[in-house]
Every structure is written in C-alpha cells, then in structure tokens.
Structure 1
C-alpha cells in the first residue's frame, strides 16, 4: 500500500486478494462516505470528481476505482456468474484496509447494484445506502432479446468505444443522448474526459464484461426487487428525471419496497445525475446527517 504525492485528492493503492484497488480520498471527519462509479468508460474521478469537491470538511469521502477502471487492476477473467461477488469482495477488503465502518455507501449505475449487493451482505457497515440511477432495479432492457444477442455474439461494444475515442462528435452525441440532460453542461472538458476514457486500454472490455455478466437471455441480473425488503438501513434512491437507461418508474417501484426507503429525483437530469447536479446530490447526504 502506498500513497501518492499530494494532489487535489489523496490517492492510495490498496492491495486486495485479486489485485490493486485505487482510492481517492478527501477529508478526515467521522462522517464517512464511500462512492462507487458506474460501468463503461467510467471511473471514480469521471463520475464523482465534482461531487467530492462539494463536500465540506465535515466529511471524509472515499471514491473507489473498481477492477478494470481508472488506476485499479485490470482482470482478464472478471466476466461471469461471480462478477458482482468479486466486486463486492474487493470493496469489503478495501474498506477494511482503510479502517472505516458505518459509512454512507453511494453507487452509480453498475456501482449502484454492487452497492446494494454489498449492503445485503454486510449490513452492519452501511449507515445509509444510496443507489443512484442504479442497475439492478429493472427486470429487462428495452429491446431485451436484441440487446442480449448483440452483447453476447458481437464485439459491437469494443468497436463503439474505439470510435467514440476517435470522433469528438460521437462522444458528444453519446453524452447528450443518455448521460447529461442540460446541454450547456456538456463542456469541452467533459467531452475530452469521455474520449480519453474510451481510448484507455481495456475500457471497452470492462463494459463488455459488465454487459455479458448482467444480461441473461430473458432478464437482467441482478434484479433486486424481491430482496429489497430485507434491507434494514435507510435506502435513499436518487434518479435523474430523464434517465432512459434506468427509468424513473423503476426507482419509484424500488423505493416503495424498502422498509425505510425514499426517492430523490434530480429534475432534468439523465443517467449522470450527480455529475450534472453535484451540489444537489451532496445536499441530500447533508439532509440525512442533519436529521
């Protein structure tokens, strides 16, 4: 384990069973928050950088690069039935090495489904669970059979990532179509970040691993709705109002199943709701602690 030179955020590599998990950290308070990013070209800094900057000194915030993303280890055989269990195990080992318990756990998209699975397996560690535009709440994809065939029988995703890394217009269209609702917030910096991330070695493979591990012929996995009632901690769902990837109605259904569930809708936002409205997202966490 080693800490890098001082930057905007502290950065630490944690050696866990299957490789290295890279963590960004800000703050030294007892109000601990753990942030888990989504799939695709994502990583901790791409999804959570703006959010971390909004936290005050009252918080200690940790943003994790999952295996296959950012500065964490690439794993060749991560795809399969144990995809989620292995990610959950890596987070458990990481937070144990950090030495934190009783934290807020927020996960975006794929990270949301990993976070829900973590909370089910280690409920004693999670003070508040926040699935954000979360995978795991929808039983099927739009045009499910067609998407299943494409994911499992072609390398469309790998080709898509290469093209997005090469053509600026394509990256901008992808962001506008599914990720950010307010076009004025699609800055040159964000487009550059997405293009760079899509060109990173293994980013397309990481997305393909997620897709093939999460889409069966007739349904998606995991689908948590039948188990959400088991969660005893508060579960505050956050969803973009215009998210087409995780429809708002699915988050509404899920929030009604949980014993202590709430739903917060970020108006006008799509799938990258916290990146689009970071202050509003952090205010939701402030509300939890202030109450």
Structure 2
C-alpha cells in the first residue's frame, strides 16, 4: 500500500509513525525542531490520516507498508521511531528487517500483549451520526458523553474531516472497531533486534512498567529505557522539549 506522508528537513532519514486514532500531524511540531538535523518522514499508517483504507489491518501488513515506503523512497536504512501502535509497528519491522534499521526509538509501548481498552472511545466515535451533525462543537458535545476528557476528545476529533457531503472520518472506523484486538498483540517470540534501541516512557503512564524491562531486554538487548518526567502516554504532546532532547541525544 502506498502510504501518505509528509517529508521535510535535511540529513539522515528519520521515519516517525503515530499511534492509534492519530496521524502524521501528531508529530509535526516535534519534526520542526528536528528538521535541521534529519530528513523527516511523517507517516499516516493505513486506515489513518490521508492514507488508503483497507479491510486488512494488522502489524504484518503495516510492516510491509513501511517496507514499501522505504523502497519507493530509495531508503536502504533509516532511523525509525513509533509511538504506541506505531511503536509496535516499528518493533515488528526491526525484527523482520533489521538490516534496514540504523537505530530504533519506541515511545511508550512495550513488546508485551495489551488487553483491549478502547471500547468506550469506540462506542463514542460510532455513536456520532455524521449525517446529522452540523458542527465540530456538536460532535464534541455528543462525544463528551463517552470521553469526558477535553484533550482526548480534541485529539480524536482531529480525525473528523469535511467531505463533499459533510463530515466524514479520516480513520477507517468500521475496520478499526472490528479488529481492535490487533493493536495490543505481543511481538512474536523467538526473535530479537540487536541494534541500538531507545524506549521512551511517560513517568505518569502505565504503558511501560518495571515488569516490562525483562521483555524489552529479550527482544532488544542493546536498549536504553528513559522515563520522561511529568508525562503520560502522549509524552510528545505533554513534554515535547524533553522528547526532542532525548531523540537528538540518542541519534547524534
């Protein structure tokens, strides 16, 4: 699949993949701080952003999407970074195509299995009748019944676009809803990536815990784990300066 992406900057290639319900735009402010040192590729993964929609949605096909993009751009090797679902994609990619990964950065996700925990969000998104909603304010008011946190709703509603006939989802909501169990799948046993790997964890997030460190060591023996102070799961939005500093330090 030919993915949509934004390209900017100069230097060695750094590919960044967003998380579930996100898009390439989630990392644009971070990329502006890095564009003098790297050529940034900000990717919309399949069924997200402006990339194509498809019924098949799992890490196997997302890995192949990334491989196709690197091949089409003539990238034999690159720095890879992914947040949450994007982190699972780049981890799986590094296991399958280690020769194409110069260094790996994984933001607030570990190799283990995660139980499905997005049911209430999906209920809220699916409850919106886009044929009758007349404004973003109306969509926000309705979604608030399911997602009380304003910042989380604003993030989710970034995927609500306007088409010729009114509002439409940029995400492939039916396929994501049907296959949501794919997001939390663990990495396949018996493989490892020996290249330099940095795990960035939000200190206020539960996605990477001390109990995950043995798993991280098993899959990525050449690893560092850094906890970003005063950051939750969306560490790049909550502590962007600290995230940029860690990226620069690790990739220098």
Q: TM-score, normalised on structure 1?
A: 0.70
Task: Describe the shift of the 1:205–1:271 C-alpha distance in structure 2 as closer, same or farther (beyond 3 A).
Answer: farther
Structure 1 distance, partners of 2:149, 2:227, is 22
Question: 1:59 aligns to what?
Answer: 38
Q: Distance in 2 between matches of 1:259 and 1:198?
A: 40
Aligned equivalent of 1:106: 81
Whole-Å separation in 2 of the counterparts to 1:172 and 1:221: 24
| Counterpart for residue 182 of structure 2 | 213
- Aligned equivalent of 1:279, options 236, 241, 244: 241
Between the aligned partners of 2:123 and 2:13, the Cα distance in structure 1 is: 39
CA distance in 2, matches of 1:172, 1:263: 31
Q: Which runs of 5+ in 1 are unaligned?
A: 1-17, 180-190, 215-219
Matches within 5 A, 1:208-247: 208-214=177-183, 221-223=185-187, 226-227=189-190, 230-244=192-206, 246-247=207-208
Equivalent residues of 1:69, 1:206 under 8 A apart: no
CA drift of 1:283 comes to 1.5
How far apart are residue 124 of structure 1 and its match? 0.8
Cα distance, 1:248–1:70 mapped onto 2, change above 3 Å:
same
Matched, 1:37 2:18: yes
Given that 1:43 and 1:65 are in contact with CA atoms closer than 8 Å, whether structure 2 keeps it comes out as: yes
1:201 and 2:169 correspond: yes
2:4 pairs with 7, 22, 31, which one?
Answer: 22
Distance apart, 1:194 and its partner CA: 3.2
Secondary structure at 1:130 match in 2: strand
TM-score (norm 2): 0.80
| Aligned pairs, number | 233
State the Cα RMSD in Å.
2.8
* 1:129–1:234 contact (8 Å) kept in structure 2: yes
Higher helix share: 1
5+ residue gaps, structure 2, are 129-135, 162-167
Contact 1:238–1:264 (CA<8 Å) still a contact in 2?
yes
